[in-house]
Amino acid sequence: MSNMNVDVFSQQIEKLHSQIQKLLQCDTTKPNSEQEIITEAFEELNTAIEELLTASEELKVTRAEVEKERQRYQDLFEFAPDAYLVTNIVGTIQEANHAAATLLGVNQKYLVGKPLILFIAQQDRQFFCSQMNNFQELLNWELNLQPRGGKPFPAMIKASAAYKLQGKQVGWRWLLCNISERKKTEEMLHQAYDELEIRVAERTAELVKANQKLLTEITERKRAESQLLHLAFYDILTGLANRAAFMNRLSHAINYSKRHSNYLFAVLFIDLDRFKVINDSLGHLNGDQLLLATASRLQVCVRSIDTAARLGGDEFTILLEGIQDVSDVITVAERIQQELALPFELEGQEVFITASIGIALSSTLDYKHPEEVLRDADTAMYQAKVQGRARYKLFNSDMYANALAKLQLETDLRRAIERLEFRVYYQPIVSLTKGSILGFEALLRWQHPERGLLNPADFISLAEETGLIFSIGKWVLHEACRQMQAWRMCHDSNLLEKISVNLSLKQFSQPDLIEQIGQILHSTGLDADTLTLEITESVIVANGDKVTATFLQLREMGIKLSIDDFGTGYSSLSRLYNFPISVLKIDRSFISLMSANKKNLEIIEIIATLAHKLGVDVLAEGVETKEQLAFLRKLKCEYGQGHFFSVPLNSSEAEALIMANPLW
């Protein structure tokens, strides 16, 4: 019954009930029995009508609940995340939710009335029709859906029959699910499974093969462990103990000496002299053979309770245990030197080598760590090197103090760069033909906060050893160029023709030296032909291709080169001839002894003549008297420096000298 019919029926019952009530009230005045029968009948009818009214009210409540439930079902159907369809028995769409419309690419209101088969991919339509004709109650299957204006995609379809209350089927309910991602996953899983099967088969074959080699591998592993143990404590080349083993043994000796006051030991630090020359000359293979032979001779010199070790390179150490006194150590050191003094034969050629030995005794200091003993033996060895090599030195407290002082100086030197403690002093270069200042030589000084003004001799060797010479040298070059350019801008540039700056062999080894000098000249604005770089004869002796190329590049830039302290080194005249130098500087040692020794006069004359023959100017250092100046002018030396003209000056003092413009 429709909602409207139910409402009309309820109204008619209400009207009939009202009429019966009025009739009953009217007829109660009639006393006859027939009338009683009629009244009783109407009362029963009234009761029946009241029951009908009650039933009608219950029907209204039930109808509201049903309508609410229907709306709830409709909302669930409409907003369900999955695609739902309802079709009639032949597959025409009667209802479709929003998800179904989205899945099939059709507006929801246009989807109703369309045959479902329109959205089945062409290749699956025949299958779909056969399934529609054959399945009864519930069936799941996979096929490809064809959305409107899109590409087909695989889908899972679930269908169930829809019935009327009488049990008659009126259509189908459909659930459509896009299974593209699942299909991809399945394909990937199948592929992975296939690959896994292949890998499992391969791995199985490998395991079978590995099992066959298991016993062999176990044997090899044990042998490898033995080799690793040997490598951990023994030098590969010589077979001697390595650093780790030596330090371990030395640590035991220190601990033992603490428990036994009369127990003495000593460490010998041995470094082969000039090994690098032999290694570079004869090749690394012969160098290794020499190290191997050296190790054999060292082992001959020690007892079975002692430990000989190779620390690396050409450095060896020996731990002598249980010695009586220092004489035992000296005996071993002298025997080592005697053994090493014998010739070595390498590829049919006799080679001679010596060693510098440093000795540290356990009684010298209260040693607590093996590194301390090795450090002191190394310090003593370094002293042996400094004093001429091929000798031994015993470590003492003075060496320790010197080592500490050197360490402190290095610390101060590093801080000096940060704290700007370096100064540049300027000593005039005088033209001996004109008698006027031609330029200056830049001289480095260190204004030490505690030790005062230090000369380069006090710290340059340490700067070169630590590598600080590079940053210091760059600063000096920049400051000298900057100051010279400032003077040339303020005074007659024709009177200030050159600024001379010293460069060491280590500075020449810098790969970016040319770029560095070019940047300094560019930043200061100084002309390249105003700059003269002073080098020592050692740079010429180390005449490698790289140094030669650097000289040529500097000459192309317009920079002049000067040989400093000429005559004190071991210059090769052939090399000197081939280098593009502009000035030879006669060392002050020849000038200062000019009046005392006639030979010095001859040497100065020879150097001046040689320089002029090579087309090179001469600069004499250390000029202190009028007589020296007169002699140098007689030899036609071009330039002079020395206290006769001026001591090295700071920048303000040099400025005042330029202003005075003296003549000599």
CB of 517 within 8 A of CB of 527? no
Give phi and psi for 509, each to the nearest 5.
-80, -5
Our measurement of the distance from residue 42's CA atom to the centroid of its chain's CA atoms, rounded to an integer in Å, reads 110
Task: Give the residue, 345 or 166, on which the prediction is more confident.
Answer: 345
Summarised one tens digit per residue, pLDDT across range 398-442 is: 777 777 788 888 889 999 988 999 999 999 999 999 999 999 999
What does 379-408 look like in DSSP terms, one character per residue?
Answer: HHHHHHHHTTSSSEEE--HHHHHHHHHHHH
Q: What average pLDDT is seen over the chain?
A: 85
Sheet with 138-145, side-by-side order of all strands: 93-96, 83-88, 169-178, 153-163, 138-145
The position carrying tokens 């400094």 is 386
Helix (H, G, I), strand (E, B) or coil at 394: strand
* Pairing of the two strands 531-535 and 498-502: parallel
pLDDT computed for residue 6 by the predictor: 56
Give phi and psi for 120, each to the nearest 5.
-95, 135
The position carrying tokens 């191997």 is 292
Alpha helices in 586-650 (DSSP H): 588-592, 598-613, 626-634
Of 602, 571, 607, 573, the C-alpha closest to 587 is 607
Distance between CA atoms of 429 and 583, rounded to whole angstroms? 12
Of 243, 231, 242, the C-alpha closest to 371 is 243
pLDDT computed for residue 303 by the predictor: 92
Summarised one tens digit per residue, pLDDT across range 465-505 is: 888 999 999 999 999 999 999 999 988 777 899 999 999 88
Structure letter (DSSP) for residue 166: T
- 612-649 burial, b if ≥16 CB within 10 A, otherwise e? beeebbbbbbbbeeeebbebbeebebbbbbbeebbebb
The position carrying tokens 């199985």 is 204
pLDDT computed for residue 77 by the predictor: 67
Amino acid at 319: L
Q: Angle 545-557/513-524 helices, nearest 10 degrees? A: 20
Q: Angle 243-259/180-233 helices, nearest 10 degrees? A: 60
Of 316, 434, 426, the C-alpha closest to 377 is 316
Q: Is the pLDDT of residue 185 over 60?
A: yes
Domain limits, CATH 3.30.450.20, in the chain: 78-183
pLDDT band at 314 (very low <50, low <70, confident <90, very high): very high
Distance between CA atoms of 564 and 579, rounded to whole angstroms? 14
pLDDT computed for residue 200 by the predictor: 84
Helix (H, G, I), strand (E, B) or coil at 249: helix
Strand partners of residue 431: 639
pLDDT computed for residue 193 by the predictor: 83
| Tokens linked to 641 | 């420096």
Torsion of CA 546, 551, 552, 558, to 10 degrees: 150
Determine which of 6-10, 218-222, 595-599 has the lowest per-residue pLDDT on average: 6-10
| Tokens linked to 61 | 């409540």
pLDDT computed for residue 388 by the predictor: 86
pLDDT computed for residue 75 by the predictor: 60
End-to-end CA distance of the chain: 140
CB of 175 within 8 A of CB of 157? yes
Q: Is the pLDDT of residue 29 over 60?
A: no
pLDDT computed for residue 173 by the predictor: 87
CB of 377 within 8 A of CB of 396? no
If you classify domain 243-395 with CATH, what class do you get? alpha beta
Domain limits, CATH 3.30.70.270, in the chain: 243-395
pLDDT computed for residue 82 by the predictor: 84
The position carrying tokens 């690419």 is 105
CB of 395 within 8 A of CB of 379? yes
Q: Angle 397-419/469-490 helices, nearest 10 degrees? A: 40
Cα distances from 184 to residues 190, 191, 192, 273, 296, in angstroms, run 10, 10, 12, 75, 72
pLDDT band at 552 (very low <50, low <70, confident <90, very high): confident
pLDDT band at 455 (very low <50, low <70, confident <90, very high): very high
CB of 532 within 8 A of CB of 473? no
| Tokens linked to 657 | 């000298």
Task: Give the residue, 509 or 635, on which the prediction is more confident.
Answer: 635
Region 155-179: what's the mean pLDDT? Answer: 84
pLDDT computed for residue 292 by the predictor: 94
Task: Give the residue, 358 or 180, on which the prediction is more confident.
Answer: 358
Of 320, 315, 341, the C-alpha closest to 235 is 315
Distance between CA atoms of 627 and 595, rounded to whole angstroms? 9
The position carrying tokens 């640590």 is 251
Domain limits, CATH 3.20.20.450, in the chain: 407-659
CB of 316 within 8 A of CB of 294? yes
* Pairing of the two strands 349-351 and 355-361: unpaired
pLDDT computed for residue 318 by the predictor: 97
Q: Residues, the chain, total? A: 664
Amino acid at 384: A
Determine which of 245-254, 302-311, 397-406, 517-526 has the lowest per-residue pLDDT on average: 397-406
User: CB within 8 A of 477, min separation 6: which ones?
Assistant: 501, 503, 517, 520
As a CATH number, domain 407-659 is 3.20.20.450
Q: Is the pLDDT of residue 219 over 80?
A: no
Of 148, 159, 178, 13, the C-alpha closest to 86 is 159
Q: Is the pLDDT of residue 167 over 90?
A: no
Give phi and psi for 198, each to the nearest 5.
-65, -45
Q: Is the pLDDT of residue 448 over 90?
A: yes
pLDDT band at 257 (very low <50, low <70, confident <90, very high): very high
CB of 638 within 8 A of CB of 431? yes
Give phi and psi for 658, each to the nearest 5.
-60, -40
Amino acid at 220: E
Summarised one tens digit per residue, pLDDT across range 60-87 is: 776 766 666 666 666 666 777 788 899 9
Helix (H, G, I), strand (E, B) or coil at 439: strand
Q: What percent of the chain has pLDDT over 70?
A: 88
CB of 279 within 8 A of CB of 336? no
pLDDT computed for residue 73 by the predictor: 61
Summarised one tens digit per residue, pLDDT across range 593-640 is: 776 667 778 888 888 998 898 889 999 999 999 999 999 999 999 999
Determine which of 225-234, 237-246, 401-410 has the lowest per-residue pLDDT on average: 225-234
pLDDT computed for residue 42 by the predictor: 72
Distance between CA atoms of 97 and 119, rounded to whole angstroms? 15
If you classify domain 78-183 with CATH, what class do you get? alpha beta
pLDDT band at 591 (very low <50, low <70, confident <90, very high): confident
pLDDT computed for residue 195 by the predictor: 84
Summarised one tens digit per residue, pLDDT across range 108-147 is: 888 888 998 889 999 988 888 887 777 655 567 888 999 9
Region 571-579: what's the mean pLDDT? Answer: 64
DSSP H or E segment with residue 156: strand 153-163
Distance between CA atoms of 179 and 619, rounded to whole angstroms? 96
Strand partners of residue 500: 441, 532
